[in-house]
Amino acid sequence: MSNENKTIHDFELNLICDFFSNMERQGPGSPEVTLKALGFTDNLNDKSLIADIGCGTGGQTMVLAQNVPGKIIGLDFLPNFIEIFNRNARQLGLQDRVKGIVGSMDNLPFQNEELDMIWSEGAIYNIGFERGLNEWRKYLKTGGYIAISESSWFTDERPAEINKFWMDAYPEIDTIPHQIAKICKAGYLPVATFILPENCWTEHYFALKIAAQEIFLNKYAGNETAEEFSALQSVEEELYRKYKEFYGYVFFIAKKIRQ
């Protein structure tokens, strides 16, 4: 398999984890966008319980915690991310309300209708957009919110090069109207949908990768697989800059409207 046909899923988890543990966010986003999405919800109080699923090291979780009441549980299947997450919570004095746990998004450790809100930035693709919407819904109280950012097509047709890249990486990527239809079908009321601005990719993701790449390549000097993985990160950036009018991340905020 040549490097150009590889996707992130072809690499060992410890390499992926090592690379992204040096970044505040593990995907496109920003504190401003997290707060914008939060602004479409209105149901939280001191007794609320929020789950951030696929939380990574918790960049967005800490922003949430500083702006909402209640408790937040961050869940990720990579122990190293959760270790960093809990360290960040302690450093910000949030450890009484914010806790990271190791777990799998296809087997959540919550009771039915226990959660007031489910948050997930750039992570639902690990289980699949439609499957996540359907399986996570039972954990939400009626009237509770789900807020997720997901890679999406902006057009019905797109150039072959970028289409192939995404079909290899994540075949379930879809257009915004189709994704909203899936939200409705799963028993939610769509509340808001907005495209993440370009700076979520450039300033808050690609720019931060430069330092992470340097640390990573120093640690794995001479390791061909690590060098391939690092090169793939640069390919992702090149493709985004070339084809950004065809795709991006979209925030979907929706409300559970019935049991």
The answer to whether the beta carbons of residues 212 and 138 sit under 8 Å apart is no
Residue 194 CB neighbour total at 10 angstroms: 15
Q: Which domains does the chain have, with CATH numbers?
A: 22-196+246-254 (3.40.50.150)
Q: What is the DSSP string of 195-237?
A: EPPTHHHIIIIIHHHHHHHHHHHHHTTT-HHHHHHHHHHHHHH
User: Do the beta carbons of residue 33 and residue 55 sit within 8 Å?
Assistant: no
Q: Does residue 118 register a pLDDT over 50? A: yes
Q: What is the pTM of this model?
A: 0.93
pLDDT in tens, 24-70: 999 999 999 999 999 999 989 999 999 999 999 999 999 999 999 99
> At 165, is the secondary structure helix, strand, or coil?
helix
182-126-7 Cα angle (round to 5): 115
What's the Cα-to-Cα distance from 98 to each of 26, 31, 78, 169, rounded to whole Å? 19, 17, 17, 32
Percent of the chain with pLDDT over 90: 86
pLDDT in tens, 127-186: 999 999 999 999 999 999 999 999 999 999 999 999 999 999 999 999 999 999 999 999
Band (pLDDT 50/70/90 cuts) for residue 1 is very low
CA 30 – CA 179 distance, rounded (Å): 22
